[in-house]
Structure 1
Amino acid sequence: MNDNAQASRGSGLATFFAVTFITTWGCWLVAIALGQPPTTFPTVIPFLLGGFGPVFGAIAVRLRRGPVPVHTVKFRLNARLLWALPLLVLAAATVAGGAVLAQALGGPVLSLDAGTALIATAGGAAPFFVSMLVGGPLAEEPGWRGTAYPRLLERMGRFRVGLVLGAAWAVWHLPLFFMTGTVQAGFGLLSWSGLLFSLSVFPMAMLTGYAYELGGVPSAVAVHFGVNATAAVLNAYSPMTQTVVLATQLLVAVAAISLRRNASVTVAGDSGVRLQHG
Structure 2
Amino acid sequence: MTYVSPSQTRPGALGKVVAFLAITFAITWGVIGAYIYWPDAMAIRFGAISGSHPFYFLATWAPAISAILVVFSFAGLDGLRGLFSRLMMWRCPPVWWVFILVGLPLVFIAGSLIKGGPLLTPLPPEGAGALLSVMIMMLFLGPVEELGWRGVAQPLLQRHVAPFWAGAIIGTAWGVWHLPAFYLAGVVYENWSFLPFLIGNITLAILVTPIFNAARGSLLLPVLFHWQLINPFWPDAQPWDTVILVGVVAVVVWVWRDQMFSREGAVTEVIPGETRL
- Shorter-chain TM-score tier: 0.7 to 0.9
CA contact (8 A) 1:27 1:46 kept: yes
1:175 is displaced (CA, Å) by 1.5
1:180-259 matched pairs, under 5 angstroms: 180-187=185-192, 189=193, 194-215=194-215, 216-229=218-231, 232-239=232-239, 241-255=240-254, 257-258=256-257
1:145 is displaced (CA, Å) by 0.5
CA contact (8 A) 2:87 2:219 kept: no
Hey, what does 1:108 align to over in structure 2? 116
CA contact (8 A) 1:178 1:185 kept: yes
1:95 is displaced (CA, Å) by 3.9
CA distance in structure 2 between the partners assigned to 1:103 and 1:126 by the alignment: 20
The two structures, once aligned, show a CA RMSD in angstroms of 3.6
Measured at CA, do residues 8 and 30 of structure 1 come closer, stay the same or move farther in structure 2, by a change above 3 Å?
A: same
CA contact (8 A) 1:212 1:220 kept: yes
Hey, what does 2:50 align to over in structure 1? 38
> Which of the numbers 31, 37, 48 marks the counterpart of 1:27?
31
Hey, what does 2:133 align to over in structure 1? 127
1:160 is displaced (CA, Å) by 0.7
> Which of the numbers 44, 48, 52 marks the counterpart of 2:61?
52
Measured at CA, do residues 87 and 47 of structure 1 come closer, stay the same or move farther in structure 2, by a change above 3 Å?
A: same
Give the number of aligned pairs.
248
Deviations 1:167-190 (A, max 9, x none): 100101111212223222122x3x
1:24-173 matched pairs, under 5 angstroms: 24-32=28-36, 33=39, 34=42, 36-39=48-51, 44-65=53-74, 75=85, 80-83=89-92, 87=96, 89-91=98-100, 93-102=102-111, 106-114=114-122, 116-117=123-124, 120=126, 124-138=130-144, 140-173=145-178
**AA aligned opposite 2:57:** L
The worse-fitting range, judged by mean Cα deviation, of 126-135 and 243-252 is 243-252
CA contact (8 A) 1:84 1:218 kept: no
Larger Rg: 2
TM-score by length of 1: 0.73
Identical amino acids, percent of aligned pairs: 23
Measured at CA, do residues 172 and 103 of structure 1 come closer, stay the same or move farther in structure 2, by a change above 3 Å?
A: closer
The worse-fitting range, judged by mean Cα deviation, of 196-205 and 85-94 is 85-94
CA contact (8 A) 2:207 2:252 kept: yes
1:90 is displaced (CA, Å) by 1.1
TM-score by length of 2: 0.73
CA contact (8 A) 1:87 1:222 kept: no
CA contact (8 A) 1:95 1:245 kept: no
1:258 is displaced (CA, Å) by 2.2
Deviations 1:51-94 (A, max 9, x none): 0110111022113216999xx9883687x414499645413544
Measured at CA, do residues 89 and 9 of structure 1 come closer, stay the same or move farther in structure 2, by a change above 3 Å?
A: closer
Measured at CA, do residues 148 and 184 of structure 1 come closer, stay the same or move farther in structure 2, by a change above 3 Å?
A: same
**AA aligned opposite 1:90:** F
CA distance in structure 1 between the partners assigned to 2:234 and 2:35 by the alignment: 28
CA distance in structure 1 between the partners assigned to 2:173 and 2:243 by the alignment: 23
Runs of 5+ unmatched residues, structure 1 = 1-5
CA contact (8 A) 1:38 1:181 kept: yes
CA contact (8 A) 1:31 1:47 kept: no
